[in-house]
Copies of this chain bind each other. A is one copy, B any other.
Amino acid sequence: MFDYKLLSALAAVVEQAGFERAALVLGLSQSAVSQRIKLLEARVGQPVLVRATPPQPTDLGRRLLNHVQQVRLLERDLQGQVPALDEGGQPERLRVAINADSLATWWAPAVADFCAGHRVLLDHVVEDQDVGLKRMRAGEVAACVCAAERPVAGARSVALGAMRYRAVASPAFIARHFPSGVTPAALAHSPAIVFGPDDFLQHRYLESLGVAGGFAYHLCPSSEGFVHLTSGGFGWGLVPELQVAGELARGELVELLPERPVDVPLYWHHWRNGGELLGELTRQLVRAAEELLVR
């Protein structure tokens, strides 16, 4: 079996963001922690940490960390059955890849009770809904919210529902760019806002309207920034209905083509052997998503 003393040292250094704090938490000297990391690297034959401030795990380091977290979840189930094993309990860490728009809207209300009730700490890794699954495949996260249905090996996927996006812009932007109404051609010639290089929502929207070719766009990899840029009149963009209900009601944002929302389906992927805790989280998420997402 793996040497979990070494793996725990790695987890402590990353979670505590430094050797000094890790040593405090582990009750060891700093040089003992350092020795354990070096020994681990000698065993696996590769660096597991980049010695920056704070230390960052390498790709291999991240996989080992995720394994440690998975083992801890399984230990937690066992502690429930064999209370004597319980060592006084650090809270669990759960690494979850999630798209920024979910994190900016329905995620926190959906999992709040679960996290408070089970003393779980979340490590969110923000990934576009089309690429989050890569993190799962690489073994870097325990679970993932993304738009792909097909689970990776060793995992299960559950349909949560869809996020509904609406194409919106500010009244001033509409007056400036669409004086004779919103047409596909006029849309293609006015600046858009795109979340990042992996975001093709706007591209696909224009394609669905029969517009081909490039278009001008601002790049804004921040959900809240995205909404600020649309209401500030920088461009038009597709935003989650959940996020701009207030702006739409107050008329700060106006829908461009009300009959054409875009629904992005979301799936919850989680390890098949994630333990009871991950199972309980899955059940709670599915219940909450029924209210918060579109079916």
Contacts and interface: CB of A to CB of B under 8 A. Distances in A.
A232 B112 contact: yes
Contact of A123 (B17, B213, B219): B219
Contacts of A90: 216
Interface stretch (A29-37, A223-231, A248-256): A223-231
A174 to B, nearest CB: 13
Say how many copies of this protein the assembly contains.
Answer: 2
A212 B217 CA distance: 46
B197 A54 contact: yes
B214 A108 contact: no
A172 to B, nearest CB: 8
| Interface class of chain A by DSSP | mixed
Interface residues of A, number: 53
A288 B228 CA distance: 16
Contact of A108 (B122, B124, B228, B243): B228
A122 B197 contact: no
A103 B213 contact: no
29 contacts: A17-B200, A21-B213, A22-B214, A24-B212, A24-B214, A90-B216, A91-B216, A100-B222, A103-B220, A103-B224, A103-B225, A104-B224, A107-B225, A108-B225, A108-B229, A109-B232, A112-B233, A112-B234, A116-B233, A121-B216, A122-B218, A123-B219, A124-B221, A124-B222, A125-B221, A222-B222, A222-B223, A223-B225, A224-B224
Interface of A: 15-17, 21-22, 24-25, 54, 56, 90-91, 100, 103-105, 107-109, 112, 115-116, 121-126, 176, 191, 197-198, 200, 203, 212-214, 216-225, 228-229, 231-234, 243
